[in-house]
């Protein structure tokens, strides 16, 4: 039935997310991890849990840990986002 098909798709999606984390990031993350971000030259520090509190958003996906190895970094190892720092904050 339709409900079971959707549940199967959701399960498959969760498996793909875990696979992406294993390939491109790390599964060993905590909401208490402090993330330093260079946003257009403005340095922002926030806990991972704060950045990921809205599940299903791009922000949550970006800082979930699944893509940590693929994110662009500045010379100090901070995640670099080419955005307006004031607007991001």
Mean pLDDT of 16-23: 78
The two tokens of residue 23 are 């390939």
Mean pLDDT of 12-19: 86
Mean pLDDT of 46-60: 92
Model-wide pTM > 0.85:
no
Question: By the 8 A CB rule, do 83 and 40 touch?
Answer: yes
- Report residue 44: phi and psi, to 5°: -125, 135
Mean pLDDT of 40-63: 93
The two tokens of residue 8 are 């199967």
Q: Is the pLDDT of residue 12 over 80?
A: yes
The two tokens of residue 41 are 């030259």
Q: What is the mean pLDDT of the chain?
A: 90
Write down the H helix ranges in 1-89: 2-24, 48-51, 58-63, 85-88
Place of tokens 């299903």: 56
């Amino acid at each position: 039935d339709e409900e079971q098909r959707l549940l199967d798709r959701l399960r498959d999606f969760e498996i793909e997310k875990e696979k992406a984390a294993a390939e491109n990031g790390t599964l060993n993350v905590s909401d208490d991890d402090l993330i330093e971000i260079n946003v257009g030259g403005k340095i922002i520090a926030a806990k991972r849990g704060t950045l990921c509190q809205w599940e299903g958003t791009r922000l949550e996906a970006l800082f979930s840990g699944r893509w940590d190895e693929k994110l662009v970094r500045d010379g100090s190892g901070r995640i670099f986002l080419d955005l307006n720092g004031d607007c991001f904050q």
